[in-house]
């Protein structure tokens, strides 16, 4: 992989987007590498959670690679948008393990869209977040119009999108766009500590719970019904037997993840 680095630390896969000189802008090669890494992580039992982070101090990801898409036609744009959703953004959101975005510096355009696809966002206090696409004559094309409104509400999303303004970490936190703000030196530590806390719990239940939360945002799907079905399925899992047994035996559960 030329554009990303991977390291497993204590069952957490840290994926670093590694195009520091280009502020980690997402070109197609990077999107493909991230997609492959996520596929592998989904099937790797050693990996229980995933952190996405950008190389260097200046940016998480400063957007899709403008130099690459500048010459696209309308048809190519639509096709690539659909492919991008499938290859990366929806894949992150639908991962079977928690994905945490650790945002330092710029998270713009496709970069913020990537962070918004993750299940949890932690930012450093020097982060700057925005969807500047309309300033380039396009609109957010990797889910930004949908996920931003889901996270911060319609009014604030509209303002951010049509002004193309960036907001700082403090506003992002207040608006609910990021879960935590920490000093830059503590960013990875904070993301790792959240990852670690998820790892005490049943991986099967976590996956089912994440899918149930997301069901609310799917067209034609009744989230409450999905929750009821997923809840029922939990009763047939080994994790459920272990979790309840461990409680009664006053010990910590050892979830088999089945
Ligand atoms: N793409 C390509 N290169 C980028 C980049 C980007 N998004 N952002 C930064 N770079 C490059 C710069 O060109 C520069 O490269 P060199 O000139 O040194 O070769 C290097 O990174 C350092 O950047 P600056 O010199 O500009 O650094 P500054 O500190 O002065 O400014 C900045 C930092 C973040 C304010 C500035 O770089 C900037 O405004 N960057 C662009 C931010 C932006 O507009 N991002 C959103 C892109 S739009 C699509 C689907 C979705 C999308 C697109 C297509 N299809 C399906 C086709 C999404 C679009 C977006 O994400």
Of the pLDDT bands very low, low, confident and very high (cuts 50, 70, 90), residue 73 is confident
Which one of 7, 20, 46, 133 is the catalytic residue? 133
Considering the domain architecture, whether residues 108 and 211 belong to the same structural domain is answered as no
Residue 183 falls inside a structural domain: yes
pLDDT of residue 144: 98
Query: Which H or E run contains 79?
Result: helix 74-84
Q: What percent of the chain has pLDDT over 70?
A: 100
Contact 5, 16 (CB under 8 A): yes
Residue 254 falls inside a structural domain: no
pTM metric for this prediction: 0.96
Residue 256 falls inside a structural domain: no
Pocket test for ligand 1, best of 17, 62, 109 (most atoms within 8 A of CB): 62
Considering the domain architecture, whether residues 138 and 239 belong to the same structural domain is answered as no
State yes or no: is 242 an active-site residue: no
Q: Could you tell me the CA-to-CA distances from 234 to 10, 98, 204, 231, 244 in Å, in that order?
A: 26, 18, 8, 5, 12
Instruction: Check which CATH number belongs to the domain holding 62 and give it.
Output: 3.90.226.10
Considering the domain architecture, whether residues 111 and 190 belong to the same structural domain is answered as yes
Into how many domains does the chain fold? 2
Confidence check: pLDDT of 81 > 80: no
Query: Which H or E run contains 182?
Result: strand 180-182
Residue 255 falls inside a structural domain: no
228 alpha carbon – ligand 1 mean position (Å): 44
Considering the domain architecture, whether residues 59 and 95 belong to the same structural domain is answered as yes
Residue 32 falls inside a structural domain: yes
User: How far is the C-alpha of 68 from the C-alpha of 27, rounded, in Å?
Assistant: 7
CB-based pocket (< 6 A), ligand 1: 22-23, 25, 62-67, 69, 72, 77, 80-81, 84, 106, 108-110, 132-133, 136, 138, 141-142
Residue 160 falls inside a structural domain: yes
Contact 223, 216 (CB under 8 A): yes
Confidence check: pLDDT of 80 > 80: no
25 alpha carbon – ligand 1 mean position (Å): 6
Considering the domain architecture, whether residues 239 and 179 belong to the same structural domain is answered as no
What average pLDDT is seen over the chain?
96
Q: Report residue 220: phi and psi, to 5°.
A: 75, 10
Per the structure, the complete domain to which residue 244 belongs is given by 203-248
Q: What is the mean pLDDT of residues 187-216?
A: 98
Pocket test for ligand 1, best of 19, 21, 23 (most atoms within 8 A of CB): 23
Torsion sign, CA atoms 88, 91, 96, 99: positive
pLDDT of residue 253: 97
Q: pLDDT tens digits, residue range 93-132?
A: 999 999 999 999 999 999 999 999 999 999 999 999 999 9
Of the pLDDT bands very low, low, confident and very high (cuts 50, 70, 90), residue 153 is very high
Considering the domain architecture, whether residues 136 and 231 belong to the same structural domain is answered as no
Pairing of β 49-54 and β 180-182:
unpaired
pLDDT of residue 156: 98
Considering the domain architecture, whether residues 218 and 172 belong to the same structural domain is answered as no
Confidence check: pLDDT of 29 > 80: yes
Q: Which of 183, 198, 213 is the last residue in one of the domains?
A: 198
Considering the domain architecture, whether residues 157 and 225 belong to the same structural domain is answered as no
Confidence check: pLDDT of 180 > 90: yes
Considering the domain architecture, whether residues 43 and 148 belong to the same structural domain is answered as yes
Considering the domain architecture, whether residues 188 and 223 belong to the same structural domain is answered as no
Considering the domain architecture, whether residues 94 and 164 belong to the same structural domain is answered as yes
User: How far is the C-alpha of 72 from the C-alpha of 25, rounded, in Å?
Assistant: 17
Considering the domain architecture, whether residues 114 and 239 belong to the same structural domain is answered as no
Residue 253 falls inside a structural domain: no
Residue 115 falls inside a structural domain: yes
Of the pLDDT bands very low, low, confident and very high (cuts 50, 70, 90), residue 193 is very high
Confidence check: pLDDT of 167 > 80: yes
State yes or no: is 7 an active-site residue: no
pLDDT of residue 69: 84
Q: What is the CA radius of gyration of the chain?
A: 19
Confidence check: pLDDT of 49 > 90: yes
């Amino acid at each position: 992989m030329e554009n990303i680095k991977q390291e497993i630390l204590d069952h957490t896969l840290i994926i670093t987007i590694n195009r520091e000189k280009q502020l980690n802008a997402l070109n197609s090669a990077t999107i493909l590498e991230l997609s492959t890494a996520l596929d592998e992580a989904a099937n790797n039992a050693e990996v229980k959670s995933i952190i996405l982070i950008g190389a260097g101090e200046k940016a998480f990801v400063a957007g899709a690679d403008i130099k690459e898409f500048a010459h696209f036609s309308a048809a190519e744009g639509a096709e690539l948008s659909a492919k991008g959703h499938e290859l990366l953004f929806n894949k992150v959101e639908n991962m079977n393990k928690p994905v945490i975005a650790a945002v330092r510096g710029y998270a713009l355009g496709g970069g913020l869209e990537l962070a918004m696809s993750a299940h949890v966002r932690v930012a450093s206090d020097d982060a700057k977040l925005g969807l500047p696409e309309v300033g380039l004559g396009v609109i957010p094309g990797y889910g930004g119009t949908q996920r931003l409104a889901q996270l911060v509400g319609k009014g604030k999303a509209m303002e951010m999108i049509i002004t193309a303004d960036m907001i700082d970490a403090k506003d992002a936190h207040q608006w609910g766009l990021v879960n935590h703000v920490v000093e830059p030196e503590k960013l990875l530590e904070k993301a790792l500590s959240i990852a670690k806390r998820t790892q005490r719990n049943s991986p099967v239940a976590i996956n089912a719970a994440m899918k149930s939360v997301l069901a609310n945002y799917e067209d034609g799907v009744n989230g409450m019904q999905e929750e009821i079905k997923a809840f029922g399925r939990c009763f047939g899992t080994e994790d459920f037997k272990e979790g309840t047994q461990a409680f009664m035996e006053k010990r910590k559960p050892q979830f088999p993840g089945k």
